[in-house]
Structure 1
Amino acid sequence: MTHVLVPDRTSPALAILVPGGRGQLGRDLAVAADSEPAVEFLDAPGSGELDVTDPEAVRDSVATLASCARDARARPVVVNAAAYTAVDAAESDVDTAFAVNAEGPKLLATACAERNVPLIHISTDYVFAGDSDHPYEPTGPTSPVSVYGRSKLGGERAVLGTWDRSWVVRTSWVYGRYGKNFVKTICRLEGERDILSVVDDQRGSPTWTADLASGLLELARLVVTGRAPEQRVVHCTNAGETTWFGFARAIFQELGKDPERVRPCTTADFPLPAPRPAYSVLSNASWSAAGLTPLRSWQEALSAAFASGAFA
């Protein structure tokens, strides 16, 4: 997915490469960038167009970005949304999870370092153990409990250790218009079942991909103008916290359905191959400290997502 856009000359022109551009977050990033006047060049390839585990393809894509940026007098940046996100499948597909989530980001960071292109890499709350009782700070101890979490932590370390103009943005519980996600699942199940049982002993911060995409573009602008956060790992989620049960009830309310049809249960009631963090709320203090606009509350974001027709 490649677009050539008309820049807003009051802001530095941007040239952006979004690996994983056909995924849930990647597509919203492309939509947000497409409507951003300062973005002159945008390439948002899916995995079929850019395999981040292919060294030659990665080098070529970053080289093309740098060349197009130079020709357009724009500032290049890579926002990596490519990821293996099948959390349960990763438990038995370890090699693929690490190839996409750890080795791929290292290849991107290496290619970006060669071309002096800054890199923003998206990571996850799953890098934490989930045994905290207060929101995790970026500097908190990481101890993932799943293959997915370990592979994503490997990607963080590879990026930060390879290229000093790279930043990691951790987020959590993402949902959006595109791809599979919790909101879409609950909307479907509402029409299929009288009563839903949803886990009430896992806490996190639901994050709308459209809000996250806007935040990432704001960060990209800071990065290319030399105002990037000194802290190279930051957290970005919609504000507030809830459980999957509370989230499901809020979705029912947006649908105009009786939330009492959603009943609480425990993680033990629905065992899955991959363990989940019981508490994965991320502190957004690092985001605000960097001068970035805090995302609104998860409840406001959910209402806006439904009002936008994302789940019609």
Structure 2
Amino acid sequence: MNILLIGANGQVSRELQLRLAGQGQVIVRGSQQLDLARPEQIRQQVRDLRPDLIINAAAYTAVDQAESERDLAFAINATGPGILAEEAAALGAPLIHYSTDYVFDGSKETAYTEADTPTPLGVYGQSKWAGEQAIQAVGGAHLILRTSWVYSLHGRNFLLTMQRLLQERESLNVVVDQVGAPTWAGSIAQTTEQIIQHWRNDQGGPWGTYHLTAQGEISWFGFASAIAEQLRLQGKPVAQLQAIPSSEYPTPARRPLNSRLDCSRLQKEWFVQLPDWPSALLECLHGPR
């Protein structure tokens, strides 16, 4: 099986490259070869490679910067995935695409399900929701996997930022009123591999949109506290953490206060489940236990 993996250096893509080697030939295309903002590159690469499965792990993810780069965010996150879905459908190849908790505004008091209507707060979330709609409109075989608070030991993410700031500063303010599930990119890749195996063995569920996050929930402050504890166990000095409300940490793009996603449908239909977030954090930092 030939798998076209779009995105070369992103957090999820790097983990997928490690996980999918046993599933077939993985053809990785970064933005230099397949730029989602350039439709002609998308069509040419897919038609030349004729993959059996396409995985889109590329996206415009600069949440605050997107507020001033709307056209670029929509080109990469909405128009590009729609064209990708068209080309995948023409080949009869399934498309796996990753989306985000930011498609919701966070006003719901309980975890969001796939039946809830997205109402994104900012340009990033709007562009990701538009991408979902573009893929759905094509009608080909696809999985849209919404995840949240992605981190790993590579790239730019909350884990690496906290590790650095906790060791550079004496005190550190972190918001406490935004709640979600920190999700390790390695867990996303591992679960994606399981989904592919189920599909190949004709044991998969229906195509469509699913939620895919670590189990459990925590605030950003709580996640920072867990990261700080791991640094302390290594004998490293860490900053004093202070919990603050989002109102005291203004950003160009508003964040949803509730980023919790109900993942029960994915477990029921595809028989996969991510580990709880504390276990995944330990595996990310220290390897399998």
Shorter-chain TM range is over 0.9
Structure-2 residue corresponding to 1:290: 269
Percent identity, please.
38
Structure-1 residue corresponding to 2:228: 252
Cα separation, 2, equivalents of 1:198 and 1:213: 28
Cα drift, residue 164 of structure 1: 2.5
Say which SS state the counterpart of residue 201 (structure 1) adopts. coil
Gaps of 5+ in 1: 1-13, 70-75
Say which SS state the counterpart of residue 233 (structure 1) adopts. strand
Tell me which amino acid in the other structure corresponds to 1:20.
G
Tell me which amino acid in the other structure corresponds to 1:92.
S
Cα separation, 2, equivalents of 1:291 and 1:96: 34
Which one of 125, 136, 142 corresponds to residue 166 of structure 1? 142
Structure-1 residue corresponding to 2:81: 105
Structure-2 residue corresponding to 1:273: 252
Tell me which amino acid in the other structure corresponds to 2:92.
N
Q: Deviations over 1:118-156 (max 9, x none)?
A: 101100000011011111111112100111000000000
TM-score (structure 2 length as normaliser): 0.94
Structure-1 residue corresponding to 2:6: 19
Structure-1 residue corresponding to 2:19: 32
Cα drift, residue 225 of structure 1: 4.5
2:172 and 2:239 in contact (8 A); partners too: no
Cα drift, residue 32 of structure 1: 1.2
1:50 matched to 2:34 = yes
Tell me which amino acid in the other structure corresponds to 2:256.
P
2:141 and 2:207 in contact (8 A); partners too: no
Q: Deviations over 1:70-117 (max 9, x none)?
A: xxxxxx111111100000000111000000000010110011111111
Which one of 47, 50, 56 corresponds to residue 80 of structure 1? 56
Cα separation, 2, equivalents of 1:258 and 1:205: 26
Q: Deviations over 1:164-213 (max 9, x none)?
A: 21111000000012210000000000111011110000001000000101
1:63 matched to 2:31 = no
Moved more, 180-189 or 299-308: 299-308
1:23 and 1:46 in contact (8 A); partners too: no
2:70 and 2:123 in contact (8 A); partners too: yes
Cα drift, residue 227 of structure 1: 3.8
Cα separation, 1, equivalents of 2:271 and 2:38: 33
Cα separation, 2, equivalents of 1:94 and 1:53: 12
Structure-2 residue corresponding to 1:138: 114
Structure-2 residue corresponding to 1:217: 193
Structure-2 residue corresponding to 1:96: 72
Residue 288 to residue 259, structure 1, CA distance change in 2 (3 Å): farther
Residue 235 to residue 165, structure 1, CA distance change in 2 (3 Å): same
Cα separation, 2, equivalents of 1:133 and 1:186: 27
Cα separation, 2, equivalents of 1:65 and 1:238: 33
Residue 27 to residue 260, structure 1, CA distance change in 2 (3 Å): closer
1:77 and 1:220 in contact (8 A); partners too: no
Q: Deviations over 1:235-262 (max 9, x none)?
A: 1111000000000000011112577821
Cα drift, residue 226 of structure 1: 4.2
1:18 and 1:79 in contact (8 A); partners too: yes
Cα separation, 2, equivalents of 1:287 and 1:121: 15
Cα separation, 2, equivalents of 1:218 and 1:77: 14
Cα drift, residue 21 of structure 1: 2.4
1:199 and 1:265 in contact (8 A); partners too: yes
Cα drift, residue 290 of structure 1: 1.4
Say which SS state the counterpart of residue 167 (structure 1) adopts. strand
Say which SS state the counterpart of residue 248 (structure 1) adopts. helix
Aligned length: 285
Tell me which amino acid in the other structure corresponds to 1:196.
L
Which one of 154, 157, 161 corresponds to residue 185 of structure 1? 161
RMSD (CA atoms):
1.7
